[in-house]
Structure 1
């Protein structure tokens, strides 16, 4: 998929929607995870759901940021740095603003109520706790909209790079890098291993210096390489074809690698190998999903289009819905897997219902999708990073 070629890209729609919608089972599973200390955690844990949450986490957001990088450079090449970044600030910034003002405070209240249900917070202190959480900045004020903060930062950095190097210059550098890697595969693998070793050392040092903020720094910068890989994916036909190549055997190998990457490591060597296994495994799984999308969704599909149009709103609102459902299930004592099997689909249906309600309001679409409808009788243009795209260079962002 070279930058200058017009090409239908319907097969990416399923992937983009899938990575966002997979946030539902992921967040439903971490309620019962042994390795995640989520905002609302059940006292009953599940080893199966722990593995499932970790498994989804290893490829879901990498896949999302790969596609975000690919479509970002696609639109940036067409529109130019300044017009494109203005459109990004509108399409990403408005949902971030209103989610922060309306969704996150609601989540803070529900999370505080959950603490009283578990007995961790006395009922008499509930009001003061809520006020304290609402008036002090912390993780609850970032929550699941962290990806919008990160994506805006990545977009600004890409726009600056594009403005400095120029579209043709950036493409030439990317193609040159891909060609060099192809000609020097052993050296490239050694360089990749060295970079992973440095990353492992940096991770250990950063977390050691500040466990809370260190983890935040790592998590918010973790996906920059995948975003960059998306840029390479757009410019290089070679990389594009490689990503679309994996079949069932590669998927199985990817699952094995990401599972191995979850095993607790001891020492720099095993930490480095875990990082490498996680990256290779994630790319294999993302490649399989991309291949699957191309084989089954290469042409316009009304059902997929509806899912794509709804996926961004579903992601924003499934989170508070799961907060409420998780709190309610603290009052009952069912097996974790059964509770998960109820919460995940219920959250999906409720979030989709919220999407349908939002689509009825021009103001709500602007608030939560960054979409401005020009005419009431014309369907709104969905968020450009999550919409169904007919061409490699759509006329609008």
Structure 2
């Protein structure tokens, strides 16, 4: 798989990994998981109920199938990325050491994060405000001054989809800090204890803070509940890679676990939508963002099903891909190469399409709008990355050719005076 500077976790390529592990499967999962993220966001305007805590630029005609699809992707998509990130972090630290890995990842993830905060977040903000303006939610003056009515911008400010980069840098820092200590413990023992422990911690977090999955927590700094829940998925990847470097166990169990995990995901989606459709009660105080009148057993059941389906389906898809994928087609290779660009750039493109589709195609099917939005929001970042790579390649080629021209020749050519002396000698 060809490496690129905009490829997520690209420090761990097949060339630097152990030869008995197939990383092409991880590349394939990364490629189509990036499309899954875009599809998830493409479904948001058509969801009913809405995602608690998530402020989108516009809302459109609700569609039950798109609502189910959105929540099904939401349950599993980030655990997939986080498990892969944990696996690749262990591989990198094993071959290069924890400090080198931390420096490399901080540079490769931190620099895009800073640039995106400076340049991309403002674009995201005004794309959102443009949607609000088109829907009549705000006035042009509010858009210009960024002064809103009380509570209108409650969920507007934060890192948006860039939270993943921030959290991942912190997870790698924690792993690097604990790396030498972890090497003194038997990996298989840690796996047998650690997997149930991380599963339990994730379940407890969701029991008290279901909005970690069944909502959106928007902030500039890490939200403790969200950071802990997402860290459990990263820890699972670390535990698997430490105990089974070539992922043979994951490949063996994946085929048997994928169907039960998919059924669990369907059941979780149905239960979650049923819970969110309950009318909030102002008289009931809960620790979570979901003050709905349901029993504690329902909260626990939803948490257990969510963690079980997310864990089972993410591990199954990764295991099946690592076992079966021996060659990547051109489309998957392109998506894998451009996956980081898709992740970074799709947000404003998709939001602008949502606004245009709502007001320009009001009678079109939500399924058509979602499909077109996904295709456009994937194609534009791929095209931008393709052009960017072409420009950088031409720039490097120009610099190299200039260096070749400026470099002294290995065989010195004779000067004019030397030529004259040589001619006189030949003439006798």
What is the TM-score with the length of structure 1 in the denominator?
A: 0.77
Give, in whole Å, the separation in 1 of the partners of 2:377 and 2:203: 40
Residues 31-65 of structure 1: per-residue CA shift (max 9 Å, x gap): 21123244223232112111111101111110110
Q: What residue is the counterpart of 1:395 in the other structure?
A: none
Q: 1:282 — aligned with what?
A: 310
Residue pair 1:245, 1:287 contacting (<8 A) in 2 also: no
Cα distance in 2 for residues equivalent to 1:33 and 1:72: 35
Equivalent position to 1:39, from 45, 53, 56:
56
1:258 is aligned to 2:272: no
Indicate if the aligned counterparts of 2:86 and 2:234 stay in contact, CA closer than 8 A. yes
Note closer, same or farther for the CA distance 1:348–1:123 as it changes in structure 2 (3 Å cut).
Answer: same
Q: Is the 8 A contact 1:260 1:274 kept in 2?
A: no
Query: Which of 290, 293, 298 is matched with 1:270 structurally?
Result: 298
Identify the match of residue 64 of structure 1 among 78, 81, 85.
Answer: 81
CA drift of 1:149 comes to 0.5
Structure 1 residue 217: deviation in Å?
3.6
1:118 aligns with 2:132: no
d(CA) in 2 for partners of 1:256, 1:316: 31
Range 75-84 or range 191-200, more displaced:
191-200
Tell me, yes or no, if structure 1 residue 19 matches structure 2 residue 36: no
Name 2:159's counterpart in structure 1. Answer: 142
Q: Whose RCO is larger (CA < 8 A, sep 6+)?
A: 1
Pick closer, same or farther for the CA change 1:286–1:68 going to 2, 3 Å. same
Q: Residue 50 of structure 1 is aligned with which of 55, 62, 67?
A: 67
Shift of 1:174: 3.2
What is the aligned residue count?
351
Contact 1:248 1:288 in 2 (8 A): yes
1:158-307 equivalences under 5 Å are 158-163=175-180, 165=181, 168-169=183-184, 172-179=185-192, 195=201, 198-203=204-209, 216-237=223-244, 240-245=247-252, 250-262=257-269, 263-264=271-272, 265=275, 266-299=294-327, 302-307=330-335
Q: CA deviation at 1:87?
A: 0.8
Query: In 2, are the aligned partners of 1:104 and 1:140 still within 8 Å (CA)?
Result: no
Question: What is the root-mean-square deviation in Å for CA atoms of aligned residues?
Answer: 3.6
Q: Structure 2: how far apart are the matches of 1:192 and 1:156?
A: 18
Q: Partners in 2 of 1:180 and 1:87 — Cα distance? A: 30
| Structure 2 residue matching 1:45: 3-state secondary structure | coil
Structure 2: where are the runs of 5+ without partners? 1-15, 276-293, 402-428
* Structure-1 separation of matches of 2:101 and 2:245: 27
| Alpha-carbon distance in 2 for matches of 1:118, 1:245 | 52
1:141 and 1:376 map into 2 onto residues whose CA distance is 42
Distance 1:57 1:138, change over 3 A: closer
- Gaps of at least 5 residues in structure 1 are 182-187, 366-371, 378-397
Q: 1:359 to 1:274 in 2, by over 3 A?
A: same
What is the TM-score of this pair, normalised by structure 2? Answer: 0.72
